[in-house]
Every structure is written in C-alpha cells, then in structure tokens.
C-alpha cells in the first residue's frame, strides 16, 4: 500500500473550503497589532496572543534590528555547541531573576520546550499526570518520554488524587498542568495541586505560556498569582505571547536545569534562538519589569469586554479567571462556528474558532483574546459586530 494513500483520501479541509467557511491561513499584511491589514482589509484583531501589545513597541523592534546588525541572522548551531550567544545568557539570567528561580534555559520554540522538558524529566519508570485540557505540546512531550501517562478531568482534584494513588511508591511522579488554559481561559487549581503533590511526594510543572505577563505580581504568572512560587518545581513558558518574540524556556533549580541542558535531545539537537528573537524577548521582559501596570491594564480590558458581552447577553465559557484576556464565546455547532467566524472576518473582526478535539463535540467556541493596547472603543466596535452576527445565526 502507498504510504501517501491516507493523504489522498484526506478531504476534510476541501469540504470546508467548498462550503466557503475555511478559517485558516489568512495572510497578514501589517504588524501584529490591535488593528491589522489582512488580505487587503482592516480587521480588529481579537485572535492574537500578543497580550501586552509589545510586538509593535519601538524599543522591541530596535532591539531586534540591533541584534541583526551585531550578530547576523542566525546562530547556525545548537546551544550545546557553537550556538550560545551572550544574548541567550543575559536573557536567561534576567528571566531567572524575574521568576525568582535559580536558573533558566531557553529553547527555540515553546512547543520544543515542552517536548524537551517532559521527555527528559520523565524517565522509564516514572509517571506523568496530566490535566485533560493541557496543551497539545505537553501531550507530545509525554509521548516522547518513556514514562507512563495518567490523566484527570479538567481541574478535577479528586481525579488528580486518584491518579496519584496509582503511582507506585518507588516511582517518580510529575504533575503537569497549564497555568492559564489556552482554550477556556480558566486558571489551574494550583493550591490544591501543590498540596496533593506535597502529600504524595510528586513534583509540579506549570506551563505558563498564557500566564506570564497576564497574572501574578508584575505579570510573574500563575504561581505568583497564588503565592506558590516556592511550590512549583518547573515553570515552562514562551516568548511568543507576552514577550513578543519566539522561543521558550524552562525555569527550575540549578541542578535540574543543568542536567536537562546536558541530556535533553530536543535542546541539544536543535539550533538556538536567533539573535533577534533573543534580543526582542529580553527587551520585552525589561519593559514588563519597568511597567508592572501593563498586566493590570490587560486585566481591566478583559473585565470590560466581559461586561459588554454580558450586557448583550452573549454566552461565554465560564471557569473563573474573569480578568484573563482569553474570552471564549459559545457557538456550539462546528459548521455554524466556522460560518460565524467567516462572517465576522468579512465584517472586519478576526477571531479564532475552537473546534473538536480542542473542545467537546457540541461545545464549539469563538476564542477571542485581548491585548493591553486594545481601547474601549475598539472593544465596543468589535462586540457590536459579534452581537449582530450571533443574532443573525440565532446563537
């Protein structure tokens, strides 16, 4: 049998294209901002993870240009060999200080970070325990490890306890959870997770890709939000969201990070972050440190949009975290969700559609997300359009 046969039979994308509701790969023709030019037309951007709006900040852009001029376009090697720049070391040191951890190591992408961390930390006789709604990269990290994966229902602490009870006394256990969940915008029950970890002798890893710059003291993330910075053993995060660049990181104690640096295959056998990416992330971090009011502004914008949506009686997914800038709006049926997304795009509002398997079969969503730089006027304009379209589709 031809190994390509399964691709020749793949027709789901063609069916959606034929229906005129294909929502993917729209081309940007401007900077990632609150308003963008996409395929020749102005759109209000409600689908970006650029939470602090720093991708257009002049100091971030200038830092990237300077790095290009000083270091060139790339490192042409892995961090393990010729690909370490003083920029990488400066970024790691400053981020470790910000997160109040002993050490940080950086990866070229956030996805690669989770692949590398979990596959290295979780060994053959270990267990990794996952929230069912964790990010796909966390699941792929589990697949790459030689450990046994157990799962519990989303934020179900009784389920987490049952998983921990299955772990043999002589086996290591790592509990892995998103800090802020990327689809629902809710926050992990970190106090109970950490308490259970302590009770059962497990370690805790938090994927804080959507927490850094969003919640916690000065935007330090989920552990800081709960006052549990000393209880979380590993932080993972990305530079592609609040820090306006590309890459990822692991923050932990020195001995753990040092061991991962020397044994992690996705780290050792991948080229390092480009100079511009490292410089932009470092400058964005410095701006965040200098302006702790940025996460507060972002939270205010989220509260404002939720208030306006409630006034228009638009159903949102609720799970705590009212101040989180990820605001999912229920649209239920998959084809209707795609049609609504397409109509919003035509009328100048870009949102993401959340479809199975990211959500349940009849729990499809419009995933909207805000930036600190959105104005109330832009939010009002976008919500008016969303309300009109939902009314037309009888949602």
The pair phi, psi for residue 134, each rounded to 5°, is: -60, 160
Shared-domain flag, residues 236 and 367: no
User: What's the CA gap between 53 and 55, in Å, rounded?
Assistant: 6
Shared-domain flag, residues 274 and 349: no
Shared-domain flag, residues 140 and 180: yes
**Does the pTM exceed 0.75?**
yes
Helix (H) / strand (E) containing 205 = strand 203-207
Q: Which of 257, 274, 290 is where one domain is finished?
A: 290
Per-residue pLDDT reduced to its tens digit, 194-252: 999 999 999 999 999 999 999 999 999 999 999 999 999 999 999 999 999 999 999 99
Shared-domain flag, residues 244 and 380: no
241 classed as catalytic = yes
H-type alpha helices, 19-85: 58-71
Shared-domain flag, residues 177 and 202: yes
Q: Which of 256, 290, 324 is where one domain is finished?
A: 290
Helix (H) / strand (E) containing 380 = helix 376-392
Q: Please give the pLDDT value at position 318.
A: 74
Contact between residue 142 and residue 149 where contact means Cβ atoms under 8 Å apart: yes
Shared-domain flag, residues 152 and 181: yes
Can you spell out the DSSP letters for 98-162?
HHT-SEEEEESSHHHHHHHHHHHHS-TT-EEEEETT--HHHHHHHHHSSSEEEEE-TT-HHHHHH
Structural domain boundaries, residue 127: 58-290
Q: Please give the pLDDT value at position 320.
A: 67
Contact between residue 115 and residue 142 where contact means Cβ atoms under 8 Å apart: no
Shared-domain flag, residues 231 and 347: no
Shared-domain flag, residues 120 and 206: yes
Per-residue pLDDT reduced to its tens digit, 73-88: 999 999 999 999 999 9
Q: Spot the catalytic one: 88, 101, 241, 374.
A: 241
Shared-domain flag, residues 114 and 102: yes
Supply angle C-alpha 315, 319, 324, rounded to 5: 90
Residue owning tokens 């729990």: 363
- Alpha-carbon 61 to chain mean position: 22
Q: Please give the pLDDT value at position 358.
A: 78
Low-confidence spans in the chain with pLDDT less than 50 = none
Shared-domain flag, residues 28 and 138: no
Q: What CATH code is carried by the domain that includes residue 284?
A: 3.40.640.10
Q: In this structure, what token pair is assigned to residue 308? A: 């306006």
User: What's the CA gap between 298 and 321, in Å, rounded?
Assistant: 13
Q: Half-sphere exposure (CA, 13 Å, Cβ side) for 11?
A: 5
Q: Spot the catalytic one: 101, 210, 283, 374.
A: 210
Shared-domain flag, residues 202 and 341: no
Shared-domain flag, residues 194 and 224: yes
Q: Beginning with the edge strand found earlier in the chain, give each strand of the sheet holding 148-152 in spatial order.
A: 103-107, 248-252, 234-238, 203-207, 173-178, 127-131, 148-152
Q: Domain tally for the chain? A: 2
Q: Please give the pLDDT value at position 361.
A: 83
Q: Which of 290, 305, 325 is where one domain is finished?
A: 290
User: What's the CA gap between 118 and 174, in Å, rounded?
Assistant: 9
210 classed as catalytic = yes
Q: Spot the catalytic one: 182, 245, 252, 354.
A: 182
Question: Which residues, at least 6 apart from 108, have a Cβ–Cβ distance to it below 8 Å?
Answer: 246, 247, 248, 270, 271, 272, 273
């Amino acid at each position: 049998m031809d190994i390509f046969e399964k691709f020749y039979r793949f027709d789901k994308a063609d069916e959606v294209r034929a229906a005129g509701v294909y929502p993917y790969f729209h081309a940007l023709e401007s900077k990632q901002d609150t308003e963008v030019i996409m395929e020749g037309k102005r759109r209000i951007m409600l689908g970006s993870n650029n939470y602090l709006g720093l991708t257009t900040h002049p100091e971030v852009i200038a830092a990237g240009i300077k790095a290009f001029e000083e270091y060139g376009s790339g490192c042409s090697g892995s961090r393990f060999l010729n690909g370490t720049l003083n920029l990488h070391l400066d970024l790691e040191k400053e981020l470790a200080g910000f997160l109040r951890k002993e050490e940080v190591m950086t990866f070229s992408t956030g996805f690669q970070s989770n692949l590398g961390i979990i596959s290295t930390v979780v060994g053959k006789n270990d267990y990794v325990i996952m929230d069912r709604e964790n990010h796909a990269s966390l699941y792929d990290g589990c697949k790459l490890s030689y450990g046994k994966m157990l799962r519990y229902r989303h934020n179900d602490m009784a389920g987490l306890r049952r998983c921990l009870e299955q772990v043999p006394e002589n086996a290591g256990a790592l509990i892995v959870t998103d800090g802020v969940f990327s689809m629902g915008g809710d926050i992990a029950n970190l106090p109970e997770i950490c308490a259970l970890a302590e009770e059962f002798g497990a370690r805790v890893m938090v994927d804080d890709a959507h927490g850094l710059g969003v919640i916690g003291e000065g935007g330090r993330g989920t552990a800081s939000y709960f006052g549990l910075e000393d209880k979380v053993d590993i932080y993972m995060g990305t530079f592609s969201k609040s820090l306006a660049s590309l890459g990822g990181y692991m923050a932990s104690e020195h001995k753990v990070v040092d061991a991962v640096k020397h044994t992690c295959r996705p780290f050792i056998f991948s080229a390092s972050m480009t100079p511009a990416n490292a410089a932009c992330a470092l400058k964005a971090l410095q701006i965040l440190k200098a302006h702790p009011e940025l996460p507060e502004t972002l939270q205010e914008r989220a509260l404002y949009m939720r208030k306006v949506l409630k006034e228009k009686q638009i159903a949102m997914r609720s799970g705590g975290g009212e101040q989180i800038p990820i605001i999912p709006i229920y649209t239920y049926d998959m084809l209707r969700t795609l049609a609504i997304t397409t109509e919003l795009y035509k009328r100048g509002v870009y949102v993401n559609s959340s479809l199975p398997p990211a959500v349940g079969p009849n729990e499809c969503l419009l995933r909207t997300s805000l930036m600190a730089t959105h104005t109330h006027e832009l939010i009002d304009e976008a919500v008016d359009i969303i309300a009109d379209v939902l009314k037309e589709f009888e949602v």
